[in-house]
Amino acid sequence: MTNDVVVVGGGFTGVATAAALSARGASVLVLEAAKTTAPHFRGELIHPKGVRALDQLGLKGPLFDAGGVPVRGFAVTPDAQRAPMLLPYGEAAGPGLGIDHPTMVLTLREVVARRPGVTVRTAQRVTDFLWSGSRVVGVRGADGEEHRAGLVVVADGRQSRLRPLLGLEPQVQLLSYTVAFGVRGELPAAGHGHVFLGAPGPILAYPFGEGLVRFCVDVPLTAPKGREGIVDYLLREYVPFVPAGLREAMQAALRQTPFEACATHAISTEKCAAPGVVLVGDSGGCAHPLTASGMTNAMNDVLTLGEVVGREGPTDGALEEYQRRRYDFVRMREMFTDALYEVFRAHDAGSRALQSGVFNYWASSERSRRVSMDILSGENVKPTRFVAEYARVLGRSAVDVMKGFTRQPRVRGRTRELRSLVKTSFGRLEVAVGRTARTVVERYRRGLHRAER
C-alpha cells in the first residue's frame, strides 16, 4: 500500500508531524522502531510557542489531561544564597508545558492514531530508503517490507540512523554529559523552570508533573566515570549549589534511585531536505538542552512542513521552502544556546565577568528580561536582535570590571580579568556576527535561486 507520507520515528516530533499532515488531508504511516517508547531520557519542557502549536493541532488539551503542568517562565539562580532572577513568559504568549516524556509520547500516539488517515506501527525499524533516480520514494524495514510514499519524513532523533544515508553529515561537537533524574519537591519559584549556577556545569530543573521536579545536570567531560564516581562527584560539587529546600531530595535521589547519564552534543546541519525527504526535529540538528529549545524547534518544523506541503504538495520547491524557513528559525536558537551555555559554565575570568553582566543586565529593567525571554523561548528569532542584546551585556560586563579598578588594589588581577573578558566576549561575538552574516547570505542566495526558477 502506498501512503502520501511515511514518517520514520514515532516519538514526539514524528507523531506531531503525522497530526499536522493528516489535518491537511494526507494519509500518513508512522513507523517507530521501539515497541513502546524510546528507553532514553528525552525532552519534557515545551515553551509557549510550542504549546500554541500543539493547541493548533488539537494536542494541547490531551497532554494537560494526561498530567502535564503549566510552566510560567524561567528562574536563574547565580548561587544557593541568592534569590532567583525571574524571567516570566509574556502574558500574551501563554504558558509553557512540563510533562513526563513517556506519558507524553504514549498520549500523543493514542490521540493521533485515532485520526482519519493515520496509521501508527511500533517495533518497525527502518534500515534504508527506496530511490527512484535521485529522489527518495519510500523506505525499507529491517524485515524487508517496503513502504512507498510521496514524502518521507525522518524524525528518528539527534543520532539519526537515516541521516547519513542521505549524505547529510552534520557538524557534531561533544559538549559534556547530562545526568537526569526526577524527585518529589517544590522549586523556589513555583511553576518555573530553574537554572542553578555555581557548580562545574549548570543545573536545569523544571516541573514535569504535580509535585515532580526533573533535574538535568550538566557534567564536564573530565568528571569521574561509573555510577559511584558520578554520585560522589555530584554530591560534592553540585548539591551545595541547589537551594536548601531541594538538597535533601537531590541527595536521596542520587543515592537511592536510578538515573540516566548520556552524552550532550551540539549537532548542526547545513541541509535538512532533499528530493522526496526532509529531516524534522532533532534529526535536523540540536543544541545543548540548557534552554529547553528542542521541542519548540520541533513544533516549528512540524507546522512549517504542514503548511508548505499542504499548500504545494511534496514538491522540490516546497521542501526547499521548508528548509529555508526552518533554518531561519533554528539558527538564532543555536547562537543563543551556545552563548548562554558558555557564559553559564563560567570556566574563565571572561565568562565570569559576562555572567555578572548578564545578571546586572536582567536586573536593570523589565525590558531586558522580556527581550531575553523572547529570544530564549523562540518568540523573537532575528539574529540581529541577539547580536544587539549580546553587545548590551558585554557593555555592562566591561563597566563592572572597570569599576573594580577603583575597589581592587591588585590592579594586575583586574587587568587580567579585563583581558580575559575582551578575549572571551569578542570571540563569541565574532562567532555570532559570523553566523548572522552567513544566515543573511543564505537567505539572499535562496532568494536568487527562487527568482531564477
Do 180 and 161 belong together in one domain? no
- As a whole number, mean pLDDT of residues 32-52 equals 90
When pLDDT is cut at 50, 70 and 90, the band that residue 441 belongs to is very low
Per-residue pLDDT reduced to its tens digit, 260-305: 999 999 999 999 999 999 999 999 999 888 889 999 999 999 999 9
Do 63 and 146 belong together in one domain? yes
Do 155 and 191 belong together in one domain? no
Question: Can you tell me the distance from the alpha carbon of 75 to that of 195, in angstroms, rounded to the nearest whole number?
Answer: 6
Residue 377 belongs to what domain range?
A: 346-452
Q: Give the domain-ending residue among 265, 291, 306.
A: 265
Question: Can you tell me the distance from the alpha carbon of 28 to that of 273, in angstroms, rounded to the nearest whole number?
Answer: 19
Per-residue pLDDT reduced to its tens digit, 197-243: 999 999 999 999 999 999 999 999 999 999 999 999 999 999 999 99
Report how many domains make up the chain: 3
Per-residue pLDDT reduced to its tens digit, 299-325: 999 999 999 999 999 999 999 999 999
CB atoms within 10 A of CB 186: 12
Identify whether 158 is part of a domain: yes
Residue 162 has pLDDT above 70, yes or no: yes
- Give the pLDDT confidence score for residue 244 in this predicted structure: 87
- As a whole number, mean pLDDT of residues 29-44 equals 88
- Give the pLDDT confidence score for residue 37 in this predicted structure: 82
Do 1 and 24 touch, CB atoms closer than 8 A?
no
Indicate which CATH number applies to the domain containing 215.
3.30.9.30
Do 192 and 48 touch, CB atoms closer than 8 A?
no
Do 212 and 188 belong together in one domain? yes
Identify whether 122 is part of a domain: yes
Question: Can you tell me the distance from the alpha carbon of 328 to that of 322, in angstroms, rounded to the nearest whole number?
Answer: 10
Residue 402 has pLDDT above 50, yes or no: no
Average pLDDT of the chain is 86
Indicate which CATH number applies to the domain containing 309.
3.50.50.60
Identify whether 86 is part of a domain: no
Identify whether 405 is part of a domain: yes
* DSSP secondary structure, 8-44, as one string: E--SHHHHHHHHHHHTTT--EEEE-SSSSS-SS----
Do 25 and 153 belong together in one domain? yes
Do 21 and 147 belong together in one domain? yes
Do 252 and 299 belong together in one domain? no
- Give the pLDDT confidence score for residue 404 in this predicted structure: 47
Do 184 and 222 belong together in one domain? yes
When pLDDT is cut at 50, 70 and 90, the band that residue 350 belongs to is low
Do 247 and 193 belong together in one domain? yes
Do 43 and 116 belong together in one domain? yes
Per-residue pLDDT reduced to its tens digit, 134-146: 999 999 999 999 9
Question: Can you tell me the distance from the alpha carbon of 112 to that of 107, in angstroms, rounded to the nearest whole number?
Answer: 9
In 54-113, the DSSP E strands lie at 69-71, 73-77, 85-88, 96-98
Do 379 and 431 belong together in one domain? yes
- Give the pLDDT confidence score for residue 230 in this predicted structure: 95
Identify whether 339 is part of a domain: no
Do 219 and 71 touch, CB atoms closer than 8 A?
no
Identify whether 82 is part of a domain: no
